[in-house]
Structure 1
Amino acid sequence: MKFIILLFPVLLFAQPKIIPKTVDQKLERSNALLMDGKTDDMITLNLSILEDSKHINYAKGRLAAYYNLALAFSLQYRYNKSNHYLKMMEPEFKKANDEDQEIAMNILYSINYRGIKMYDEALKKLKKNLVLANDLKTDSVKYSIRSMLLVQIAKNYIEKKDYDSASYYSKRVIEEVKKPKKMDPGLNTSLKVTLLLLAEAKLNQNKIDSAEFYVKSAQSVPIQFGSNEFTTFKLLGQIHGAKKEYDSAVANYKKAIELAAKAKNSRKLLELYGLISGIYEQTGQADEEKKYELTYNKLNDSLKIIDEENLNDTVDLLVEEKQKPLEDKNNLLLYIILAGAAGTAIITFFVYRKIKNKNKILNVKEQETQELNQKLGLAFEEVTQLAKNNDPEFLTRFQEVYPEFFPKLLKIEPQLLSTELKFCALLFLNFSTKDIAAYTFVQPQSIQTRKNRLRKKLNIPSDEDIYLWMKNINDAV
């Protein structure tokens, strides 16, 4: 199995001896489009691959097409569409019984979580699959997948601004890619991405010389990202900016913007507009600064709308994932009850076993609750401060600290807006009407009106304390 990667590796599921030549050729073309950042063309092509594979009943072709579609939509930040095709992919890899394909799917799920800043959920998936990857039988596949996972873990820590952890996992990638006797495109890509991540970590730690060393090291890796090479130019721009070499910084930022636009990477474009605007501010070029600032604001507004849609869809996905273990437990209980009809002795055995297991579960849950309370105690102050500052990160961080709260609200009322979810979070944190008005810059009377509307939507009785109701919802089993 080969791996062709763009920022993160893409599995080729093709096996030459069984894959029809036409499907194989289309999959190769899909990888070329991926490297060029042509995600729209990639989507069109893989829809065609999917139809062809269905027509000839070729499971691996379907599997590759689902994955490529999920990847393309993820690159376009359309995480709801990406998750849709990942869900379609699940029964396919179960039929094929390929653990490496399942891990690749979970890597992409984690990337989608990271895309909406649910870093802890992403890390949970990645670290779980890192353990599973140890059991892969083929060494070359094992090293490639482990390097993929470690790269994605490092990326999450970069996003969380935990640069020490990001550096630690990046160096583990370097150790991993040294293990095989021969480097392939997948391992080279993991190595190059990792070196760029190390450069970014060092930049944020104001270690400019180290950052420059890692960028140059990345440039020496024998693989090209095509239009997705914008990260290299972005980092070079930041390094020149830190050295006050402003002309070079602007030149690199403009090249990065050109490539990011070609790759249709809106997130990177947003970051780059902010960076180049900052350079023009430092050099006193007000007209250029204003031009890029306006472009930044316009793009930022459009991305916020996408973020809200992705957040709601991903919350639904999390609810579904958390319901699966409950369904499995219910099915097991039903089986035990039916089997019990065979005789009193069997019934007695299962009752005893059930009580014993229940006690074990209760003990485990009690321990988990204690650990969770400790974590929540540490995180509560951080979340509260984000709320007081009306920080855009508040909603995302709240979801990470209290992952059950939003899914339970949405189960009661699926049509809740993200603004209403944020308001519920403020009530859960016990902010008074006066506090919420002050932190969100609205009149107290408007806050009271919102409370009344929320009561109606969630069917909260007028004589029940809304703050207590919010607490009870989160604590409910």
Structure 2
Amino acid sequence: MYSNKQIIVFIILFFSGFAFGQNSKKELDSIFANDVKTLFAKGELKESLALCKKLIKDYEKINEEKSVIKLYIYAANVNSNLFEIKESLQYLDIALKKNADLNDLNLDAKIYAELGRNYSILGFTKKALENYNKSLNIASSLPLRNKRSLLDYTYGLRSMIYEDKKNIPALYRDLILAHKSFPNTYNSSRLAKYFTVYQKNLDSAKYYLDLGKKLYKEGVTPIYQYSILQRNSGRYYSELKDYKKAISALEESLAISIKLNKPQDVKDTRKLLYEVYKASRNTEKAIENIEIYTKISDSLINKNAEAHEIPVNHVIVEKERVNQQSKSKLYFIIFVIILLFTALLIAVLKKYNSKKKESDYLINTKSDENLQLQQKVNDAFEEVVQLAKNNSPEFFTRFKEVYPDFIDKLLEIDSKLRVSELTLLAYSYLGFNAKDIALYTFKSVNTVRSRKYNLRKKLGISPEESMELWLKNLV
């Protein structure tokens, strides 16, 4: 069955199918402002995206290229909010190509800001800063009416990189610049976090939290901003040791993030809930939240890995575009280089060819050896995994034979680790999750999770780290 919100969007799309074909730009602009953006503000991101895609087609029917690019950027932003980074970058790639002919500086600034955001999510910090700075440089030359919200958005995004890098003065500078450009609930809540976490100035933190609530009530503010406000309210109350209010605020923030399908925000709030429950000595809730946090972290790592090829391709596209602009100069340089070094190249090639046959023979021999070695490693891994699944008493002995360095490293950290604990760590190293381990070793899932939690403490694995990745990095 469809939900009420999905039915409403279907109705809008159904009737728009009859009307959009003949609609003017003014009418389509009205639909974007009053329907697409309203759905986004309410947190109906997927519905907003569906209507946005419909509008793109109808703008294309009336050859309104600038609006088409604007909608591609908007779709990229919604996908980024949904943590669909691959799709977001694909939309931005199209927008960048289309705007190459239009050369609209305002659109360029928005594209670079969104590119920076996606690169930042994927961990490409240098590329993120490069694109943020491009956006800010372009925005500085725009009229005030066009740049206020753009400066607010980009300064806010760049400040998160400085926060990750622990560059607190730069973090505060960008937060203030964003707030001055366009005061809103989001900036106010992040300033509250700055004063709570980094300055321990709770009076200033409360001022910005109150301001954020006031701004939220006064305007049409996306509910996402309220979720950030409540998350930072949780930090504030936790600092006051009022754990009941902290948990209430964090749970409200978490509910919004889950509704919006924002895994990164869910992950961050779960970590805060773990810390608050731990401080309030509610061990059961603390373990529950850190387990969910770890699971989401692993999922996001895998999702990032899938999207990493897109930034690489995007860099290639950018380079090709720059090279195209200076093609004549480049060809001239290449021509001169060829003339100067032709004789040298001929001599080098002759010498190279004489050694190539010898090197090819050595490479082929080495490749055969590597293939044989790889096959042995694969066979050993499959054997150990099967022993683990069978809960065989020979599992741990065989695992030590295949991965001797792993056990030695663990015992260097804690020489008192028992065989049962080392066996559980071996299962985790092989990639088995808590449910798998419980199934194969005939134990309850809660028992396995509790033992993994205790081992984290013994080995000094921080809550935000994936145990499996930590163990693999051990050797």
Q: Distance in 2 between matches of 1:439 and 1:306?
A: 30
Question: Could you tell me whether the CA contact under 8 Å between 2:257 and 2:263 is conserved in 1?
Answer: yes
Identity %: 17
The superposition leaves residues 314-337 of structure 1 with CA deviations (integer Å, 9 ceiling, x where unpaired) of 233234434543454444333799
What are the superposed Cα offsets for residues 260-311 of structure 1, whole Å, 9 maximum, x if unpaired?
1112111111111111122222222222223223322322222121121123
Letter in 2 for 1:264: N
> Which moved further from structure 2: 205-214 or 61-70?
205-214
Deviation readout 1:163-200 (Å, 9 max, x if unpaired): 2111012222344x3xxxxxxxxx343xx332222222
Cα distance, 1:47 vs structure 2:
1.5
Do the aligned partners of 1:74 and 1:82 also contact (CA within 8 Å) in 2?
yes
Is 1:141 the counterpart of 2:134? The answer is no
The answer for the alignment partner of 1:204 in structure 2 is 197
Given the superposition, is the C-alpha separation of residues 23 and 250 from structure 1 closer, same or farther in structure 2, using an over 3 Å criterion?
same
2:88 alignment partner, SS class:
helix
Within 5 Å, give how 1:6-405 maps onto structure 2: 19-22=25-28, 24-136=30-142, 138-175=143-180, 177=181, 187-189=182-184, 192-209=185-202, 210-221=204-215, 222-223=218-219, 224-334=221-331
Q: Whole-Å Cα distance in 1 between the matches of residues 140 and 274 of structure 2?
A: 46
Contact 1:198 1:211 in 2 (8 A): yes
**Cα shift at 1:35:** 1.1
Distance 1:285 1:68 in 2: 42
- CA–CA distance in structure 2, aligned partners of residues 208 and 435 of structure 1: 48
Unaligned 5+ segments in structure 2 are: 1-22, 341-403, 412-475
The CA deviation at 1:215 is: 1.9
Q: Distance in 1 between matches of 2:112 and 2:409?
A: 38
| Larger RCO, structure (CA 8 Å, separation 6 or more) | 1
* Partner SS for 1:102: helix
Query: How far apart are residue 37 of structure 1 and its match?
Result: 2.1
- Check 1:290–1:45 CA distance in 2 against 1; reply closer, same or farther (3 A cut): same
Between the aligned partners of 2:308 and 2:408, the Cα distance in structure 1 is: 26
CA contact (8 A) 2:28 2:55 kept: no
Moved more, 252-261 or 87-96: 87-96
Please tell me whether the aligned partners of residues 35 and 228 of structure 1 are also in contact (alpha carbons under 8 angstroms). Answer: no
Structure 1 residues 72 and 160 mapped into 2: Cα distance closer, same or farther (>3 Å)?
same
Q: Highest CA radius of gyration, 1 or 2?
A: 2
Contact 1:37/1:228 (8 A) holds in 2: no
**Alpha-carbon distance in structure 2 between the residues aligned to 1:203 and 1:235:** 8
Does structure 2 conserve the Cα–Cα contact (< 8 Å) formed by 1:50 and 1:62? yes
Call closer, same or farther: CA 1:277–1:436 in 2, change over 3 Å.
Answer: closer
TM-score, L = length of structure 2: 0.61
Correspondence for 1:398: none
TM-score (norm 1): 0.61
Displacement, 1:437?
A: 11
User: Could you say what the CA RMSD is over the residues aligned between the two structures, in angstroms?
Assistant: 3.2
Contact 2:108 2:135 in 1 (8 A): no
Quickly say closer, same or farther: Cα 1:22–1:131, change in 2 above 3 A.
closer
Kept in 1: contact 2:73–2:95 (CA 8 A): yes
